[in-house]
Amino acid sequence: MKNVVELSWLKELLASHPAPQTGNVDHPAQPLQLPKLAAASTEQQRPQVSGLRLSQQLTRDLLAATHEQGVTVNDVLLATFGKTIQAYNQGNPILAIACPTDMRQAIKHNHDLRIANHTARYNPVVTSASGEPIGTAVQKMHTEMTQLKQRDQFLDSVRSLMAQYQTLGIHELQQIVEANYHVREIGYTNFGVIDDQRLVFDQLPVTQCLLTGSFRTAPMFQVACSTFKGELSLGFNMIGTDDEVQFGRVVTTAMVAQIIAFVAQSTTDAVVL
């Protein structure tokens, strides 16, 4: 097998999409964050993996609700996660949650093997008052993501680096990345649907799968969403104490409550119609 590493497709995409007139959306003016827990003990922070799964029935109900409302599961997850974190950010009506995307999707006739990090990100920003119904917030997120996708906004996150890599050496590029790339306090990623027929280990079937993102030191937090065998999972990696990891579980549980509220609202709307 041959690993293809050329970037001509990305250069062509950038050439056909003029640079935006807006500021640096990679760094929102009002970022969301979680509170730092009071030091209840001298316990040392350590890497831990956790998460929870929605039942197959709730996952099916969620999918049905998205079809009913004309939105995507990703729209719902972005909005419900944003509203969950917003509860800890009194007075901040801005839901700014970066949404990673695989740039390989933009390659025409993409049949090549490409082992590389081709991740960019959409940067949706939605205004949603704390008491706004979750269904309204989801519709706003859907509108925002639709507009960002229509203009391939993910290119904005790689535009300047692509321009510089053609003239600078690797050392200079590393310095630029270290100076400008900042991991947000609150992160989100969606791995989508994992094919249980293809995910095997030495012909052994996998019964459960929890995908997680990078390790974040509390109070930083990243939720990683994925669906396997009809169950939606919300996972996270955290460097924290047991109390901090338990707080992470509280956050994911609250996110599930927001998902349930969206499903219930969609059901109510359908009955009214």
Q: 40-85, pLDDT tens digit by residue?
A: 556 789 999 999 999 999 999 999 999 999 999 999 999 999 999 9
**What mean pLDDT is predicted for residues 95-108?**
92
pLDDT band at 272 (very low <50, low <70, confident <90, very high): very low
Mean pLDDT, residues 227-248 taken together: 96
Residue 26 in this model has a pLDDT that exceeds 70: no
Looking at per-residue pLDDT, the higher value among 65 and 273 belongs to 65
pTM of the predicted model, to two decimals? 0.90
Mean pLDDT of all residues in the chain?
90
Ordered DSSP codes for 62-100: HHHHHHHHT--HHHHHHHHHHHHHHTTSTT--EEE--EE
pLDDT tops 80 at residue 20:
no
pLDDT of residue 239: 96
**Tell me, what's the pLDDT at 27?**
72
At residue 271, does pLDDT exceed 80? no
Q: Which of 16-30, 42-56, 106-120, 156-170 has the lowest mean pLDDT?
A: 16-30
**pLDDT score at 269:** 66
What is the share, in percent, of the chain residues with pLDDT greater than 90? Answer: 63
pLDDT exceeds 90 at position 258 = yes
DSSP one-letter string for the chain: --B----HHHHHHHHHSPPPSS--TTS-SS----PPPP--S-PPPEEEEEEEE--HHHHHHHHHHHHHHT--HHHHHHHHHHHHHHTTSTT--EEE--EEEEGGGGSTT--SB--S--EEEE--EEE--TTS-HHHHHHHHHHHHHHHHHTTGGGGGTHHHHHHHTTS-HHHHHHHHHHH----SEEEEEEEEE-TTT-EETTEEP---------EETT-EEEEEEEETTEEEEEEEEEE-HHHHHHHHHHHHHHHHHHHHHHHHHHHHHHH-
Q: Is the pLDDT of residue 245 over 80?
A: yes
Asked if 162 and 14 count as a contact pair (C-beta separation under 8 A), the reply is: yes
